Amino acid sequence: MLPNLCRLVAVFAMLSLTAAASAGSKSSDVKATLLADVTAVKAGTPFSVAIVLTTQPEWHIYWKNPGDAGSATKFSFHLPEGYKADLAEYPLPTKFDQAGDIVAYGYSGTTVFLATITPPKELPNGGKVNVTVDASWLCCKNVCVPGSAKLSLELPVDGGTEKPRPDNRELFKGASAVLPAAVPPPDVVGQVRALNDEAGRAGLEISWKQQPKGDVDVFPLTPEGVELSDIKVNNSHGQNGAVTSKVDMKWRQLAGAQGALKPMPILVAYTDEHGRRHGFFSPIDFQALPNRK
How would DSSP label each residue in 222-238? PPTTEEEEEEEEEEEE-
Binding other proteins (rule: CB under 8 A), the pick from 256, 259, 275, 290 is: 256
Q: What does the alpha-carbon distance between residue 138 and residue 127 come to, in Å, rounded to a whole number?
A: 37
196 binds other proteins (CB under 8 A): no
Binding other proteins (rule: CB under 8 A), the pick from 92, 145, 189, 192 is: 145
259 binds other proteins (CB under 8 A): no
User: Do 38 and 165 meet the contact criterion of CB atoms below 8 Å apart?
Assistant: yes
* Minimum CB–partner distance for residue 19 and other proteins (Å): 7
User: Do 259 and 197 meet the contact criterion of CB atoms below 8 Å apart?
Assistant: no
69 binds other proteins (CB under 8 A): yes
**For other proteins, what does the binding mask look like between residues 123 and 142, x meaning CB under 8 A?**
---------------x-x-x
Q: Please list, in sequence order, all residues whose beta carbon lies within 8 angstroms of the beta carbon of residue 291, skipping any fewer than 6 positions away.
A: 196, 198, 199, 200
Size of the site for other proteins (CB under 8 A): 25
Q: What does the alpha-carbon distance between residue 21 and residue 264 come to, in Å, rounded to a whole number?
A: 38
119 binds other proteins (CB under 8 A): no
**For other proteins, what does the binding mask look like between residues 73 and 112, x meaning CB under 8 A?**
-------------------------xxxxx-x--------
19 binds other proteins (CB under 8 A): yes
Reduce the DSSP state of residue 5 to 3 states and report it: helix
Residue type, 132: T
Of 182 and 254, nearer to other proteins (C-beta) is 254
Q: What does the alpha-carbon distance between residue 174 and residue 52 come to, in Å, rounded to a whole number?
A: 13
**Interface ranges with other proteins (CB under 8 A):** 19, 68-71, 98-102, 104, 138, 140, 142-146, 224, 227, 229, 254-257
